[in-house]
Copies of this chain bind each other. A is one copy, B any other.
Amino acid sequence: MVVGLRAIGAKGPGWLWRGPWAPLAASFCSQGPDGARRPEPGPRPTSVRQRDGIRSIVLSNPKKRNALSLAMLKSLQSDILHEAESQDLKVIIISAEGPVFSSGHDLKELTDEQGPQYHAEVFQICSEVMMLIQNHPVPVIAMVNGLATAAGCQLVASCDIAVASDKSSFATPGVNIGLFCSTPGVALGRAVPRKVALEMLFTGEPISAQEALLHGLLSRVVPEEQLEEETMRIARKIASLSRPVVSLGKATFYKQLHQDLRKAYHLASQTMVDNVALRDGQEGIKAFIQKRKPVWSH
Contacts and interface: CB of A to CB of B under 8 A. Distances in A.
* From A190, A248, A269, residue with most partner B Cβ within 10 Å: A269
A66 to B, nearest CB: 17
A148 to B, nearest CB: 14
A71 interface: no
Interface string A193-215: 11111110111110000000011
Q: Is chain A's binding surface mostly helix, strand, loop or mixed?
A: helix
B191 A193 contact: yes
B218 A264 contact: no
Q: How large is the interface on A (under 10, 10 to 19, 20 to 34, 35 or more residues)?
A: 35 or more
Interface string A237-267: 1100110011011101100111011111110
Contacts of A193: 191-192, 215-216
Interface string A100-141: 000000011011100010011001101100110010000100
Which A-B residue pairs are the 7 nearest by beta carbons? A178-B284, A193-B216, A180-B249, A127-B265, A177-B284, A123-B269, A19-B262
